[in-house]
Amino acid sequence: MRFAIAAVLLVAWVAGAQATPFHKGASLQIYTFPALRDGRYEDDPYPARTDAFAHFQIAQLRSLGLDHVRLPVDVGPLLDDPDGQQWRQFRLPFVTLVQQLHRAGLGTIVTLVAPSRAGGIPEDQLDGLGGPRFSRYAALAEQFAAELSNLHFDALALEPMNEPQQMCVRTGDVDWTVYQDVLVDRLRGKAPLLWLGLTGGCWSKIEGLSHLKSESLQRPKTFISVHFYDPFLFTHQGSDWTLDIMPLISGLPYPVRPDIRDDEVARVRARAATKARDRLASEQLLASANAAIDQYFRHDGKTDSIQRKLAELDAWCRRNKVTPERIIFTEFGATRSGVDRDDRVNWLRDVSNAIESHGWAWTLWVLRDGPFGLDDAHGQLDPALLRSVGLASP
């Protein structure tokens, strides 16, 4: 018995020293945003699941040049499931989809997303290592790990929680990194050879990684999951679900052009003033927006801003002896809302090229649909946007 356990651990350690099988990917919104009615989950909360994702669509993903997809799963309905009915309904279509992706030559990163119903945030599940919500969440994560492990695919991974906490480190309370170690231990017990994603706080930004413990980083067959939306003012301009100033900002170019900078600043500030009047925003909010706009044109919107940010991650990797093959940018993207297409092309090209120059992998958020999709107004994938990240046209 001891020999068998040691053999499994040795295999896992050797596998952990290898590069991950993920290089270029995209997220699919099949299990995000569960269907609600009157504040409660529908009987079928994932109406866009496998049966809406035809075989030809899967084949198209591979032809674009992708080698994996990321499946974020909002687990709210599965946590709110005392008799296990939702899990039984979810399980077979989910496993079938992963198998279809595998047959098409696509790996899968499954990412568990904490419930967002009624304004919920991931920290709601972190109610103490022995807390009822965390205990239920961890048990569900184990179910996912066991299902994925049973498939015996190497190009298969599980991220225990998407963007787990807002702060880089929680003071006066148990930090995410402690919960993560517990989760990884439990998941490894169910799935000795499954790839597992490690991430930090600060919405999984680069800054959050500095608080990961060095011993955690040496765990076998793990990768480091990073999200990248910098400069944030550009990637999320016009959004109404982030910072309070963002709805006032649109038309930011990337990169900033020094020769016509004054004209561009004036136009962006004029748009912000108009939107502030339309929204009856306060003078203080408009002043904050204008200060952010000025900062963008002076510093954040320059072409070297992305490389400067990635240099921080490169330095962190060198300090912690994390090889490039273990870094995956599991989310990056820029909104199309009020943004010139050429500016999106510039940003996507610069970010993907910079990531690849370090030997890191990436996963788009997302390929199509919503403000971050690479599709046009008619639902067709935009060849220029595809080329910007080195993908082929369908």
Q: What is the pLDDT of residue 16?
A: 43
Task: Look at residue 56 in the predicted model and tell me its pLDDT.
Answer: 60
Q: Which two tokens stand for residue 291?
A: 């200060």
Give the torsion sign (CA, 366, 370, 372, 373). Answer: positive
- Chain-centroid distance, C-alpha 146: 23
CB 157 within 8 A of CB 187: no
pLDDT at 369: 84
Sign of the torsion formed by the C-alpha atoms of 374, 378, 382 and 385: negative
Q: What does the pLDDT read at residue 134?
A: 98
What is the biggest distance separating any 2 CA atoms in the chain, rounded to whole angstroms?
Answer: 73
d(CA 9, CA 231): 41
The whole-angstrom separation of Cα 82 and Cα 80 is 6
Strands 36-37 and 40-41: antiparallel
- For the chain, how many residues are written? 394
264-304 pLDDT, tens per residue? 999 999 999 999 999 999 999 999 999 999 999 999 999 89
Q: Taking phi first (over 0 means left), then psi (-120 to 50 degrees means alpha), and beta for anything else, what does residue 280 get?
A: left
What Å distances lie between residue 337 and 32, 34, 155, 205, 228, CA to CA? 21, 24, 34, 22, 18
Task: Determine the Cα–Cα distance for residues 273 and 283; give it in Å rounded to an integer.
Answer: 9
> What pTM does this model have?
0.93
3-state DSSP helix/strand/coil % of the chain, to nearest 5 = 50, 15, 40
Smallest CA-to-CA distance from 335 within 269, 385, 298, 276 is with 385
Ramachandran angles phi, psi of 230, nearest 5°: -115, 140
Which residue ranges form the domains of the chain, and what is each CATH number?
Answer: 2-231+306-388 (3.20.20.80), 247-300 (no CATH)
160 burial (CB, 10 Å; 0-12 / 13-18 / 19+) is buried
Backbone angles phi and psi of 296, in degrees to 5: -65, -45
The DSSP annotation for 85-110 comes to: HHHHHHHHHHHHHHHHHHHTT-EEEE
- Calpha distance 285→370 (Å, rounded): 27
CB neighbours (10 Å) of residue 106? Answer: 20
For the four alpha carbons of 80, 201, 235 and 275, in that order, the dihedral sign comes to: positive
What pLDDT score was predicted for residue 13?
44
- Rounded Cα distance between 50 and 118, Å, is 26
pLDDT of residue 51: 53
Amino acid 376 reads D
Q: Name which of 297, 317, 300 is nearest 308 in CA terms.
A: 300
Q: Is the Cβ–Cβ distance between 329 and 361 less than 8 Å? A: yes
The residue whose two tokens read 């295999």 is 11
Q: pLDDT (tens digit, 0 to 9) for every residue of the chain, 394 residues total? A: 444 444 444 444 444 457 899 999 999 999 999 999 998 999 999 986 555 466 568 888 999 999 999 999 999 999 989 899 999 999 999 999 999 999 999 999 999 999 999 889 999 999 999 999 999 999 999 999 999 999 999 999 999 999 999 999 998 899 999 999 999 999 999 999 999 999 999 999 999 999 998 899 999 999 999 999 999 999 999 999 999 999 999 999 999 988 888 999 999 999 999 999 999 999 999 999 999 999 999 999 998 999 999 999 999 999 999 999 999 999 999 999 889 999 999 999 999 999 999 999 999 999 988 899 999 888 899 999 999 999 999 8
Alpha-carbon span 207 to 226, nearest angstrom: 10
